[in-house]
Amino acid sequence: MKVCVFGAGNMGARIAEVFLTNGHEVTMIDIKQEFVDRGVKTITNDLSFLVKKEKMTEERKNELLAGLKTSVERSAAADADFVMEVILERMDLKKELLKELDEICPAHTIFATNTSALSPTELAASVKRSDKVIGCHFFNPAQIMKLVEVTRAIQTSDETFKTAFDLMTSLGKTPVSVQEGPGFVVNRILIPMMNEAMGIVADGIASPADVDIAMQLGAGMKSGPLHTADLVGHDVNLAIMETLYRETGDPKYRPHPLMRKMVRAGWLGQKTGKGFFTYDGPFGKEIPGGDLTVR
């Protein structure tokens, strides 16, 4: 299958990697060559790690990288069978992209969005082939995490849903069927939990480390809510929380002021090297004892 991934950031590159390592023809597109190059570097590093762990040969790594196509032109998707949209979490940008692709892609092309909270139904309404639009929400890091939320827009046809669901299964993922609703399944539960954890820190009840330890040992979480929030990125967390609040009007989804404060400070988590915990550079490893005191 010819797959085109729009967005070469951390998620986009990893999703492209998943398709690439499962035998698909992949083209990764972004708006600037430097973004594309960064995405290729992410994939290269991941594959090199597999070689180091003897889970892939050097020859296979080179073969995969040689087969990966990249572009900064949307026209490169003109022959795609499956488009995976992984651009910024902004409805206007996603609509504009899909409208253009609707004009240049073949009639059979399916448009999948990786949105974590925005409405696939609203996205579908922006194109002629609304029955071909579906949500395929991967989780970070996409090359490792098994879950994909396959989310129907109200317009999504049964054929499109089955194709997308079966495709996710063929990638070694575990898809779950989701009817559209604010935050879908995981984020509707997870993001408010992160928000509450931030409130506990802001109220001085416990440190970020102690909050996470409590939830790991007391609630069986593999990673605590604040480490997870750092991994996702607080800008993303805020965008999802605002969507939940706007869509439902329920005050339980109101973003905590501390979340907004950290985003304003640029303390977005692992992607910037600083969040509730400190890291040895963007996307680096946590520095032990590096808790931040946020006031």
Nearest residue to 151 via CA among 196, 195, 114, 102:
114
Partners of residue 135 on adjacent β-strands: 113, 151
Greatest extent of the chain over all pairs of C-alpha atoms, in Å: 56
Please state the pTM of the whole predicted model: 0.87
Q: End-to-end alpha-carbon separation of the chain, Å?
A: 51
- Tell me whether residue 17 is one of the annotated catalytic residues: no
Can you tell me the distance from the alpha carbon of 192 to that of 244, in angstroms, rounded to the nearest whole number? Answer: 9
- Tell me whether residue 187 is one of the annotated catalytic residues: yes
Q: Which of 85, 119, 149, 234 is catalytic?
A: 149
Can you tell me the distance from the alpha carbon of 211 to that of 205, in angstroms, rounded to the nearest whole number? Answer: 9
Residue 150 backbone phi and psi in degrees, to 5: -95, 105
The three-class DSSP label of residue 176 is strand
Range list of β-strands (E), 204-249: none
Q: Which of 17, 24, 114, 137 is catalytic?
A: 137
Can you tell me the distance from the alpha carbon of 210 to that of 225, in angstroms, rounded to the nearest whole number? Answer: 11
CB 184 within 8 A of CB 190: no
Q: Which two tokens stand for residue 151?
A: 């989310």
Can you tell me the distance from the alpha carbon of 238 to that of 284, in angstroms, rounded to the nearest whole number? Answer: 22
Q: Which of 187, 195, 234, 237 is catalytic?
A: 187
Q: Which of 10, 114, 116, 237 is catalytic?
A: 116
Total number of residues shown for the chain: 295
Partners of residue 219 on adjacent β-strands: none
- Tell me whether residue 54 is one of the annotated catalytic residues: no
Q: Which two tokens stand for residue 131?
A: 């029955």
CB 31 within 8 A of CB 93: no
pLDDT (0 to 100) of residue 281: 86
pLDDT (0 to 100) of residue 293: 57
CB 278 within 8 A of CB 209: no
pLDDT (0 to 100) of residue 294: 54
- Tell me whether residue 149 is one of the annotated catalytic residues: yes
pLDDT in tens, the chain (295 residues): 999 999 999 999 999 999 999 999 999 999 999 999 999 999 999 999 999 999 999 999 999 999 999 999 999 999 999 999 999 989 999 999 999 999 999 999 999 999 988 999 999 999 999 999 999 999 988 999 999 999 999 999 999 999 999 999 999 999 999 999 888 999 999 999 999 999 999 999 999 999 999 999 999 999 999 999 999 999 999 999 999 999 999 999 999 999 999 999 999 999 999 999 999 988 888 988 766 655 4
CB 110 within 8 A of CB 161: no
- How wide is the angle at C-alpha 39 spanned by C-alphas 282 and 59, nearest 5°? 115
